Amino acid sequence: MAHPGSRRLPTWQELIIVAIVAVPTAIGAAYLSIAFMSLPHIEQVTWSVAGVMCVAAAISASVIGPLMWWWLMVSDPTAHYGRGAAMGVITSLVAHPFTWLIAMIWTVNQGGRDLFLTINDPSPGPLVLESLYFSFIGLVYVGWITSLVGGIVGVALGRVLVGKAGAVPSTA
């Protein structure tokens, strides 16, 4: 169903587009973050860990991005495209702990203890706590990168999907 009185796409199409755009955006933001954190010792980066983090970020953002779009853009049909920036920033911040958790679960299931070999117990409780810890550290050091990327892509999505002035009444 399309938004009443607007020229916007139906909601389900907007959400699918947001999920699709979230994947390369999250991969790019994760890669930039890993590269930034690894600058002094780039030769020591384990690119298998970087790959796991990029895939985990893509999974996390492809779920959280549409939820944030629904919450901030679809729930208010008069939302301006600038609200897309808020959607992108909030998505990047909310996705951090889920990205870490997905990456740690993936690594444990592949036979490793976890990404940084700090927990001997691969049960869910310690993994959740460790993902929250590393998420906080990640937000402190590279949260600005993911927020910047998310905000820019959110504005672009808002411009494309919502338009310049929000929901425009249909003349037809």
Per-residue pLDDT of the chain (172 residues; tens, 9 = 90+): 444 555 677 888 889 999 999 999 999 999 888 888 877 666 666 667 788 889 999 999 999 999 999 998 888 878 888 888 999 999 999 999 999 889 888 888 777 655 665 556 677 888 888 889 889 998 998 999 999 999 999 999 988 888 754 544 444 4
In whole angstroms, what is the distance from residue 66 CA to residue 72 CA?
10
Q: Which helix (H) or strand (E) holds 161?
A: helix 124-161
Q: Measured over all CA atoms, what is the biggest interatomic distance in the chain, rounded to whole angstroms?
A: 64
Q: What pTM, to 2 d.p., does this model score?
A: 0.80
